[in-house]
Chain A
Amino acid sequence: MKSFEYTVQDPIGIHARPAGLLVKEVKKYASTITLSKGEKSVNALKLMAIMGLGIKQGETVKITVEGDDEEKAAAEIEAFFKANL
């Protein structure tokens, strides 16, 4: 299992568009990818659940990656967060 934390920089947080991009990104990997804010965790394949977390700028989220391609997936998803969020 791999995991990393990220503090959201985007002024309007993880809104519909980046959440959509994230789901598209996550779909590329075989690993199970979980997004957590505080005590709430959601499967990162679920667009509306991610939006439901209402993640705002300055909030820190934790991303957990578990599966065969976790090494590669974690690195690439972290890069995705840095570039888009």
Chain B
Amino acid sequence: MISIQGKGVSTGVALGPLYFYKRAKAEITHETVEDTAAEWERFKEAQAKAVEQLGELAEKARAEAGDEAALLFETHQLMAEDLDYEEAIQALIQDEKLNAVAAVSDTAAQFAEMFASMDDAYMQARAADVKDVSTRIIGILTGAVQGGIDSEVPVILAADDLAPSETVQLDKSKILGFVTEGGSGSSHTAILARTMGIPAIIGVGKQVKEEYAGREVAIDGTKGEIIVDADENTRKLILKKIADQKKTRELLEKLKGLPNKTKDGQSIRVYCNIGSPDDVPAVLGNDAGGVGLFRSEFLYLNCDDYPSEEYQFEAYKKVLSDMGDKEVVIRTLDIGADKQIDYFDLPKEENPAMGNRALRICLQRPEIFRTQLRALYRASAFGHLCIMFPMVTSVWEVREAKKMCERVKKELTKEGKAFSDSVQIGIMIETPAAAVMSDRLAKEVDFFSCGTNDLTQYTLACDRQNADLGRFFNAHHPAVLRLLKMVCDNAHKNGIWVGICGELGADLELTETFLSIGIDELSVSPRAVLPLRQKIRETNVAVCKDSILGTLLGDKTQD
């Protein structure tokens, strides 16, 4: 088994034989021509033919990948007809008596050089476009045929770098994924691969050797990993990933863009839980409506010292701007208990789950809290931010945290720094105290999000990390469900929304229950979004509500 690391630029997993792209390479010879007028005519004909082909490719790309992809080829058409380009070729043919093929090749090199020497990565990448257009004209002049895939079965395609027109002309049914030696994340190959939903890994250099041709290769576009001749266990894992991916695709095909609405018309928002800005593509790829829980801890866990305001700001800004106008709930620092960080230098506790953690730390060490809040408010200018405080038990804690927010906003106003004035503030309901006091807490905030993992462990007095508790730890315990109903009723009485961001949210056995008690939002891992949407769309609340609430609240409740 050989493992190779590249840079993943299009997600997905694929397994298949490795195939090296064969390019029909036109031999460029420099010759002197006598009849320069005829040679110029030959060029003009080839140019016209190239423009025509590019027009056809534009239509093909439009059908396969939309207007943006088509525009690329329309730009190529303009390049083929560019006056400077044409004049340079004309000068070489008429004045230097050079043959058309050599004239095009030399001119292409000259223009590509111009782009490559610009100080802008985007423009540098355009050198490939000029070469691509010129290769097409040369191909027409010499009668060379574009390289295809000579294989019966679909392959993982390896190449030095693929030109955009090459990717579009390829028979898609024969390609499972791309591996390229060079390239960049903003190359057209990467963009097209993403639009077409095929994994692509770039920048592998010479690590993928010709001798691997025909051998079985697995590529993981999320990790940028290429595995040649995977061992049995790895292969099993890959096949499982492919099966999952297929299932998601099928669901996506069926459910993408459809509302999370029950048969009888009740809507619920389905959002995602994420741990870093890198998770956003998965959120959007699974068609979630927003981010219901962004755990900010990763910023602290990834550092050796307290992360700066600027560092945090960039991460929050990235998530908010990538999510566009969709809601993003960012939870403030939640460390302590099972998440410990050395530089916080927290004293060892007998019972950390009930110790100094989350908001409790923030209120005791306001300088840490202030840095995070400043970063959050500054990022709020770039999207739709909701701030959420974890581990609340009392109203005064929320008031104190809100006071901090006000202070930070005042500071930013004074410094002339932009922030949104429509940031929502919410709290996690994860302690029985918060659930019981939810009527009062609802008057302080804009939303609740129930963290069912902690709520269950605190309510049942069962340590969730203790595997020996067996049947005593019942995730569906009616005590927890009754608390959720109470929280929900109190939220709605006060006109605020309520969500669930714990693992229970994705538990399809409880979807009907959550809809019956009126939960407004479920935040789950990206891969759980579509199965959940399917379940919601199959549910009829009017039919199941009475019996569910009866069982939950009445004496029929499970003992």
Contacts and interface: CB of A to CB of B under 8 A. Distances in A.
A61 B80 CA distance: 25
B120 A47 contact: no
Contacts of B123: 15, 51, 54
Contacts of B126: 16, 51
B297 interface: no
Q: On chain A, which size bracket covers the interface?
A: 10 to 19
B469 interface: no
Contacts of A19: 75
B466 to A, nearest CB: 52
A43 B83 contact: yes
B115 A49 contact: no
A46 B71 contact: no
A52 B114 contact: yes
Contact of A56 (B83, B111, B120): B120
A85 interface: no
Contacts of A24: 78
A45 B122 CA distance: 21
A20 B75 contact: yes
Nearest to B88: A48
Nearest to B126: A16
A77 interface: no
Nearest to B111: A48
B78 A20 contact: yes
Given A17-B71, A17-B75, A24-B78, A54 B119 contact: yes
Interface in B79-101: 79, 82-85
Interface in A40-85: 43, 45-49, 51-52, 54, 56
A54 B118 contact: yes
Contacts of A16: 75, 126, 129
B82 A47 contact: yes
Given A54-B119, A54-B120, A48 B75 contact: no
Interface string A9-27: 0001101110110011000
Q: How large is the interface on B (under 10, 10 to 19, 20 to 34, 35 or more residues)?
A: 20 to 34
A12 B122 contact: yes
Contact of B115 (A17, A45, A51): A51
A51 B79 CA distance: 11
A58 to B, nearest CB: 14
Most interface-central of A12, A13, A23 (chain B CB within 10 A):
A23
Contacts of B119: 54
B130 interface: yes
B122 A48 contact: no
Contact of B82 (A15, A17, A48, A56): A48
A19 B72 CA distance: 12
Nearest to B114: A52
A85 to B, nearest CB: 15
Contacts of B78: 20, 23-24, 47
B74 interface: yes
A47 B71 contact: no
B114 to A, nearest CB: 6
A47 B123 CA distance: 13
B130 A48 contact: yes
Contacts of A13: 120
Interface string B105-131: 000000100110011101100100110
A17 B78 CA distance: 10
B74 A20 contact: yes
A48 B85 contact: yes
A45 B118 contact: no
Contacts of B83: 43, 45-46
A67 B111 CA distance: 30
Interface string B122-144: 11001001100000000000000
Contacts of B129: 16
Nearest to A23: B78
A43 B84 CA distance: 10
Contacts of A47: 75, 78-79, 82
B84 A15 contact: no
B165 to A, nearest CB: 15
Interface string B48-87: 0000000000000000000000010011001100111100
Most chain A CB neighbours (cut-off 10 Å) among B75, B83, B85, B111: B75
A15 B118 CA distance: 12
Contacts of B79: 47-48
A17 B123 CA distance: 12
A49 B75 CA distance: 14
Contacts of B84: 46, 48-49
B83 to A, nearest CB: 5
Nearest to B120: A54
A20 B75 CA distance: 6
B84 to A, nearest CB: 5
19 contacts: A13-B120, A15-B123, A16-B75, A16-B126, A17-B71, A19-B75, A20-B71, A20-B74, A20-B78, A43-B83, A45-B83, A46-B82, A46-B84, A47-B79, A48-B85, A51-B126, A52-B115, A52-B118, A54-B120
The list of the 8 closest CB pairs from A to B, nearest first, reads A20-B75, A47-B78, A47-B82, A20-B78, A46-B83, A16-B75, A48-B82, A46-B84
Given A17-B75, A48-B85, A52-B114, 20 more contacts: A12-B122, A13-B120, A15-B123, A20-B74, A20-B75, A20-B78, A23-B78, A46-B82, A46-B84, A47-B75, A47-B78, A47-B82, A48-B82, A48-B84, A48-B114, A51-B115, A52-B115, A54-B118, A54-B119, A54-B123
